[in-house]
Structure 1
Amino acid sequence: MSKFKATQRVTASFAATAAALIGFQAQADDHAIDLTGKTVEWVIPFSETGGSAKWANFYAPLLSEALPGQPTVVVKFMPGAGSTKGANYFQGQEYKDGTLIFGSSGSTQFPYLLGDPRVKYEYSDWNVVLASGTGGVAYLTPELAASMDGMDATPLQGTDFIYGSQGATRLDLVPLLAWEMLGLNVEPVFGIKGRGDGRLMFERGEANIDYQTSSSYLKGVTPLVEAGTAVPMMSWGALDDDGNIVRDPTFPDMPTFKEICEATPSCETSGDQWEAWKSFFIAGFPAQKMVFLPAGAPEAAIATYSEAFEKVKARADFAEISANNLGKYPQMTGAKAKGALKSGTDVPQSAKDFVVNWLQERYGVSIK
Structure 2
Amino acid sequence: MLNNTLRRRTTFGLMAGLLAACLTGPAAAEVNFAGKTIEFIIPFSAGGGSDTWGRFNAQLLGKYLPGNPVVVVVNEPGGGSTKGSNLFAARAKPDGEMILGTSASTQFPYLLGDPRVRYDYKDWKIAMAGPTGGVVYTTPTLGPKSVDDIAMLKGKDLVYASQGATSLDLVPLLGFKAMDLNVQHVFGFKGRGDGRLSFERGEVNIDFQTSSAYIKNVQPLVEAGQAVPLFSLGVLDEAGNVVRDPTFPDLPTYPEAYEKLTGQKPSGPAYDAYMAFYVAGFPAQKMVFLPKDTPDDIIAAYQKAFEDMKADPAYKESADAVLGTYEQVTGNLAQALFEKATALSPELRKQVATMLADDYGVKLGQE
TM-score by length of 1: 0.89
CA displacement 1:258-289 (0-9 Å, x = unmatched): 10112222765222221111010011111001
SS of residue matched to 2:39: strand
Instruction: Structure 1: give runs of 5+ residues left out of the alignment.
Output: 1-26
Q: What is the aligned counterpart of 2:47 among 37, 46, 49?
A: 49
**Aligned partners of 1:54, 1:148: CA distance in 2, in Å?**
27
Select the structure with the greater relative contact order (CA < 8 A; seq sep ≥ 6). Answer: 2
SS of residue matched to 2:297: helix
* Pair member with larger Rg: 1
SS of residue matched to 1:40: strand
The alignment status of 1:261 with 2:265, answered yes or no, reads no
Distance 1:145 1:123, change over 3 A: farther
**Aligned partners of 2:106, 2:240: CA distance in 1, in Å?**
23
CA displacement 1:46-86 (0-9 Å, x = unmatched): 11121111001100011011111110000011111111111
Count of matched residue pairs = 341
Distance 1:258 1:28, change over 3 A: closer
The alignment status of 1:316 with 2:313, answered yes or no, reads yes
Answer whether contact 2:27 2:301 (CA < 8 A) is retained.
no
SS of residue matched to 1:270: coil
Alpha-carbon RMSD: 1.8
Letter matched to residue 43 of structure 1: I
**Aligned partners of 1:251, 1:103: CA distance in 2, in Å?**
25
Residue of structure 1 equivalent to 2:140: 142
**Aligned partners of 2:89, 2:170: CA distance in 1, in Å?**
24
CA displacement 1:311-341 (0-9 Å, x = unmatched): 0112234343111111111211000110110
Q: What is the aligned counterpart of 2:211 among 211, 214, 217?
A: 214
The alignment status of 1:354 with 2:351, answered yes or no, reads yes
**Aligned partners of 1:58, 1:349: CA distance in 2, in Å?**
36
**Aligned partners of 2:125, 2:312: CA distance in 1, in Å?**
24
Answer whether contact 1:283 1:343 (CA < 8 A) is retained.
yes
5 Å-filtered alignment, 1:1-368, equals: 31-144=29-142, 146=144, 150=148, 153-265=150-262, 269-368=266-365
CA displacement 1:327-357 (0-9 Å, x = unmatched): 1112110001101101110123332222111
**Aligned partners of 2:163, 2:225: CA distance in 1, in Å?**
26
SS of residue matched to 1:338: helix
TM-score by length of 2: 0.89
Instruction: Structure 2: give runs of 5+ residues left out of the alignment.
Output: 1-24
**Aligned partners of 1:348, 1:238: CA distance in 2, in Å?**
22
**Aligned partners of 1:184, 1:169: CA distance in 2, in Å?**
19
SS of residue matched to 1:264: helix
